[in-house]
């Protein structure tokens, strides 16, 4: 039986390995996995502190851009990846970050444009639920309530919408060239 401390240590080691992969040039899968783990929590923090969905989304993006750009200097013995991301978030909000800002990362701008273009290529029903989840941070239940739809319909639209989004990104070369970083 694995203790909670052992499981936490395994997770921390795995996340540190993901950051090491980023530092070695593999941004796709590691960023996607860390985003899956921390994206929503960072967004919620941004909504709580900034009160604006656009700024909260920009905060999340800024955190992952800074993590990616500074992956080589991450030291897992000094703290967890999650702690590092939340420190970046707090620093971004207060302007007191110890991570040097990078100006105008063109790849990130292009990725953002590709994602928006791919979202626009989806059916209106699929695009609507994905945008509500991403931009407003709504849960599936909240989306169902807002749109007056059964929860099962929202879940189905999100599932097929994500499949269509992945396909649209792959068609645009976003997944092939840069992995899942565009998501």
* Domains, the chain: 4-94 (1.10.1740.10), 106-182 (1.10.10.10)
CA dihedral 129, 142, 144, 57 (to 10 degrees): 0
Residue 26, C-beta contacts closer than 8 angstroms, at least 6 positions apart: 179
pLDDT at 109 over 60: no
- pLDDT score of 107: 45
Single out the residue of 131, 158, 3, 12 nearest to residue 77, CA to CA. 12
| Prediction pTM value | 0.50
pLDDT digits (tens, 9 = 90+) for 7-37: 557 888 888 899 898 888 877 888 889 998 8
Single out the residue of 33, 46, 47, 55 nearest to residue 86, CA to CA. 46
Share of the chain above pLDDT 70, in %: 77
Contact 171, 23 (CB under 8 A): no
- Stretch 104-119: mean pLDDT, rounded? 58
Distance of CA 28 to the CA centre of its chain: 12
Distance of CA 84 to the CA centre of its chain: 15
Per the model's pLDDT, the better-predicted residue between 90 and 111 turns out to be 90
């Amino acid at each position: 039986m694995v203790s909670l401390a052992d499981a936490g240590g395994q997770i921390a080691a795995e996340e540190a390995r993901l950051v090491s992969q980023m530092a070695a040039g593999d941004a796709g899968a590691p960023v996607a996995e860390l985003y899956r783990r921390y994206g929503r929590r960072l967004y919620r923090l941004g909504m709580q502190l900034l009160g604006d969905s656009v700024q909260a989304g920009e905060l999340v993006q800024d955190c992952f851009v800074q993590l990616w750009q500074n992956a080589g200097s991450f030291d897992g013995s000094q703290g967890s990846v999650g702690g590092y991301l939340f420190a970046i978030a707090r620093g971004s909000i207060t302007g007191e970050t110890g991570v040097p800002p990078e100006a105008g990362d063109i790849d990130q701008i292009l990725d953002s444009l590709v994602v928006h273009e791919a979202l626009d290529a989806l059916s209106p029903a699929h695009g609507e639920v994905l945008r509500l989840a991403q931009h407003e941070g709504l849960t599936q239940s909240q989306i169902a309530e807002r749109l007056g739809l059964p929860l099962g319909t929202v879940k189905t639209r999100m599932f097929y919408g994500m499949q269509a989004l992945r396909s649209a990104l792959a068609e645009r070369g976003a997944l092939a060239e840069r992995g899942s970083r565009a998501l």
